[in-house]
Amino acid sequence: MQLTLRPQNRVLRMESGRPVLESALAAHVNLPHSCKGGNCGSCRARLLSGTFHYPRGRPLGISAAEAADGYLLLCQAIPDGDLVVEARELRRVTDVEIRSLPSRVERLERFAPDVMGVFLRLPVVEDFRFRAGQYLDVMLPGGRRRSFSIASPPHDAGLIELHVRRVSGGEFTVQVFEQLGPGALLRIEGPLGQFVYREPADPASAGPMVMVAGGTGFAPIKSMLRHVLETGLRRPLHFYWGARHEVDLYQRAWVEERVTRFPELRFVPVLSMPSGDEASRHRTGLVHDAVRADFPDLSAAEVYAAGPPAMIAALRATLPAQGLPAERLYFDSFAYAPDVPARS
Ligand SMILES: Cc1cc2nc3c(=O)[nH]c(=O)nc-3n(C[C@H](O)[C@H](O)[C@H](O)COP(=O)(O)OP(=O)(O)OC[C@H]3O[C@@H](n4cnc5c(N)ncnc54)[C@H](O)[C@@H]3O)c2cc1C
Ligand code: FES
């Protein structure tokens, strides 16, 4: 069976019974992907011809409307015959080199009871270039990996900042909270991902940039905010941060300090499970509902969203009805990666 990739007209062989993405990666064609579990939507591509099937039904990472529009998830799609698919290779889109590097933990900072700031120093001789919003993989034994968004911006890459939320029973994150200390070595691979800040052709006349974070989804948003604010780009920025409680808005003071300095930045924290008197001080409900209420017309906007798969799914399901073109919803879904060896 043959896979043709447009627009580059690249042709490669697919193995019968194997997901399209696996065949492409085996042929060293690095198509966008992340969770490989049908959850995150990163491997979404457009089918131009041919037929395929999903062994376990339509995956969570693709809506019924997207499927009807001819999109498919390459990590789950099993080809029934030759396919022609529109998909771009990762390296061409991000235009940065993916590297595997040793890093040393410089310091750890407890941002909240269950969120740890991890600051990594890379070898001085290595030039680690990335774009605001990208993530890296921390390598675990056996070639397994865990993804973490880079919270520092490209112009300040001396220390790489990560925000790690503790997952009860989680292999890596429990280790971060209980064992990891300054000086520890971590092998990382990156930068990865297509969730990157894209500068509009004319920032002065660009529509609003709406950023939506859920929990530690703040990490890539912080990188973008710092990139935009600290490199002198000027455009209206609306940052919505969804969390359960006030304490989960773990770098709120950092954001509020920027709001006082940069009049173009607006900050809206939204609590989904307010306790005590939190409701009297905050917007409450789900963060995607707050965005919908505040922006009845998103036709000129760009939305950047990062966080739990459920939040991303809710945004993808609802914002197009507010006029947001699908290609202007950029997202990174923090899906829990299956323990698979190297992804690229
Ligand atoms: C592109 C991308 C970027 C990411 N960026 C970040 C980031 O910046 N910060 C961050 O904290 N995380 C981020 N994640 C998630 C992160 O990669 C890990 O999946 C997460 O930290 C858990 O790793 P672990 O080894 O501790 O848990 P694992 O050992 O992988 O998980 C143990 C068990 O818990 C389950 N599980 C894991 N998490 C949860 C949960 N929240 N609720 C319920 N069950 C769960 C798993 O399915 C598994 O059964 C990102 C994920 C992706 C795909
Ligand atoms: S890589 Fe296919 S949905 Fe995540």
Question: By CB neighbour count within 10 A (0-12 exposed, 13-18 middle, 19+ buried), where does 135 fall?
Answer: buried
Q: Cα–Cα distances in Å, from 222 out to 101, 152, 210, 261, 309?
A: 23, 7, 13, 16, 19
Residue 31 pLDDT level (bands cut at 50, 70, 90): confident
E strands, 50-112, are 52-53, 71-73, 78-79, 83-86, 99-112
Contact 60 CB / ligand 2 (< 6 Å): no
Amino acid at 35: C
Q: How far, in Å, is the centroid of ligand 2 from the Cα of 283? A: 32
pLDDT tens for 84-124 read 999 877 554 445 677 889 999 999 999 999 999 999 999 88
Residue 339 pLDDT level (bands cut at 50, 70, 90): low
pLDDT higher at 36 or 269: 269
- Mean pLDDT, residues 314-321: 91
Q: Which residues of the chain does CATH 2.40.30.10 include?
A: 96-192
Residue 244 pLDDT level (bands cut at 50, 70, 90): very high
Q: Which residues of the chain does CATH 3.40.50.80 include?
A: 203-333
Closest ligand (CA of 71): 2
Residue 338 pLDDT level (bands cut at 50, 70, 90): low
> Is residue 186 pLDDT above 90, yes or no?
yes
Contact 216 CB / ligand 2 (< 6 Å): no
pLDDT at 93: 44
Q: 203-333: which CATH number, 1.10.3720.10, 3.40.50.80, 3.40.50.300, 1.20.1250.20?
A: 3.40.50.80
Q: Cα–Cα distances in Å, from 161 out to 31, 103, 211, 219, 329?
A: 26, 12, 19, 8, 25
- Mean pLDDT, residues 176-199: 92
Closest ligand (CA of 334): 1
The binding-site residues of ligand 1, defined as CB within 6 angstroms of any ligand atom, are 34-35, 40, 135, 146-149, 163-165, 167, 169-173, 193, 216, 219, 332, 334-337
> Is residue 321 pLDDT above 50, yes or no?
yes
- Dihedral through CA 228, CA 233, CA 236, CA 242, nearest 10? 0
Give the whole-number percent of the chain exceeding pLDDT 90.
67
Closest ligand (CA of 169): 1
**What is the number of other CB atoms lying within 10 angstroms of the CB of residue 291?**
27
Contact 312 CB / ligand 2 (< 6 Å): no
To the nearest whole number, what is the mean pLDDT of the chain? 90
Residue nearest to atom 35 of ligand 1 (CA): 170
- Among 230, 65, 66, 266, CA closest to 153: 230
The closest-lying atom of ligand 2 relative to the alpha carbon of residue 59 is 3
- Alpha-carbon distance of 112 to 116, in angstroms, equals 7
pLDDT tens for 213-226 read 999 999 999 999 99
The closest-lying atom of ligand 1 relative to the alpha carbon of residue 173 is 26
Domain 96-192 has CATH 3.40.50.300: no
Give the whole-number percent of the chain exceeding pLDDT 70.
95
Q: Which residues of the chain does CATH 3.10.20.30 include?
A: 2-92
Report the b/e string of 111-120 with b at 16+ CB within 10 A.
Answer: bbebbbbbbb
Contact 36 CB / ligand 2 (< 6 Å): yes
- Collapsing DSSP to helix, strand or coil, 122 comes out as coil
pLDDT at 71: 95
Segment (H or E) for 138: strand 135-139
* Pocket probe mutation, ligand 2, options 20, 25, 33, max atoms within 8 Å of Cβ: 33
The class (CATH top level) of 2-92 is alpha beta
Residue nearest to atom 44 of ligand 1 (CA): 167
Contact 200, 300 (CB under 8 A): no
Question: By CB neighbour count within 10 A (0-12 exposed, 13-18 middle, 19+ buried), where does 10 fall?
Answer: middle
Q: How far, in Å, is the centroid of ligand 2 from the Cα of 302? A: 22
Between helices 218-230 and 252-261, what is the axis angle to 10°? 20
Residue 293 pLDDT level (bands cut at 50, 70, 90): very high
Segment (H or E) for 10: strand 10-13
Residue 342 pLDDT level (bands cut at 50, 70, 90): very low
- Alpha-carbon distance of 24 to 338, in angstroms, equals 19
